Amino acid sequence: MSEVVSSSDFQSKVLDAQGPVLVDFFATWCGPCKMLAPTVDEIAAEQAGKASVYKLDIDQSPDIAQKYGVMSVPTLIVFENGQVKKQAVGVQPKQNILSMLS
């Protein structure tokens, strides 16, 4: 299962991390986000040790969502060395998400 990050630990867990980090920007009221959640959790389990996977609730951390231009959810962003590497908006097939991490 993927861990939830917030404004307080985003820097240490995402931006300062070694290797690729997938962040699923979501909202609790978002139907498509709920559809995507099991896929993100699967990827978190499969990529353990290779990539980090986190979720960020845009209602709890609107400053982070705004900083990265997240206008709709779900939005998936892959960070590497503190920089945005890839981004996708909307529900994505598992294979697309895995290719974002490679």
**Catalytic annotation present for 58:** no
Residue 14 contacts residue 84 (beta carbons within 8 Å): no
Could you confirm whether 33 is annotated as catalytic?
Answer: yes
* Catalytic, out of 14, 22, 30, 56: 30
Catalytic residue among 22, 33, 53, 97: 33
Phi, psi of 64 (to 5 degrees): -70, -45
Q: Residue 50 to residues 43, 58, 64, 71: CA-CA distances in angstroms? A: 11, 26, 24, 29
Rg (alpha carbons) of the chain, rounded to whole number: 12
* Residues known to be catalytic: 30, 33
